[in-house]
A and B are shown apart, each in its own frame.
Chain A
Amino acid sequence: DQQVKQNSPSLSVQEGRISILNCDYTNSMFDYFLWYKKYPAEGPTFLISISSIKDKNEDGRFTVFLNKSAKHLSLHIVPSQPGDSAVYFCAASVQGAQKLVFGQGTRLTINP
Chain B
Amino acid sequence: DAMVIQNPRYQVTQFGKPVTLSCSQTLNHNVMYWYQQKSSQAPKLLFHYYDKDFNNEADTPDNFQSRRPNTSFCFLDIRSPGLGDAAMYLCATSRETSWPYNEQFFGPGTRLTVL
Residues of A within 8 A of B (CB): 2, 4, 9, 32, 34, 36, 41-46, 49, 51, 89, 93, 95-105
> Do residues B90 and A98 form an inter-chain contact, with CB atoms below 8 A?
no
> Do residues A104 and B40 form an inter-chain contact, with CB atoms below 8 A?
yes
Contacts of A51 in B (CB 8 A): 99
Interface of A: prevailing SS: loop
Q: How far is the CB of A16 from chain B (nearest CB, A)?
A: 29
In the bound complex, how far is the Cα of B55 from the Cα of A89, in angstroms? 24
- Asked whether B68 is an interface residue with its Cβ less than 8 Å from the other chain, the reply is no
- Asked whether B107 is an interface residue with its Cβ less than 8 Å from the other chain, the reply is yes
Question: In the complex, given contacts A43-B107, A89-B43, what are 4 additional A-B residue pairs having Cβ atoms less than 8 angstroms apart?
Answer: A41-B108, A45-B106, A95-B99, A103-B42
Q: Could you list 28 examples of A-B contacts with CB < 8 Å?
A: A4-B42, A36-B106, A42-B108, A43-B106, A43-B107, A43-B108, A44-B90, A44-B106, A46-B103, A46-B105, A51-B99, A89-B42, A93-B102, A95-B98, A96-B99, A97-B97, A97-B98, A98-B31, A98-B48, A98-B50, A98-B55, A98-B97, A99-B57, A101-B42, A102-B42, A102-B43, A104-B40, A104-B41
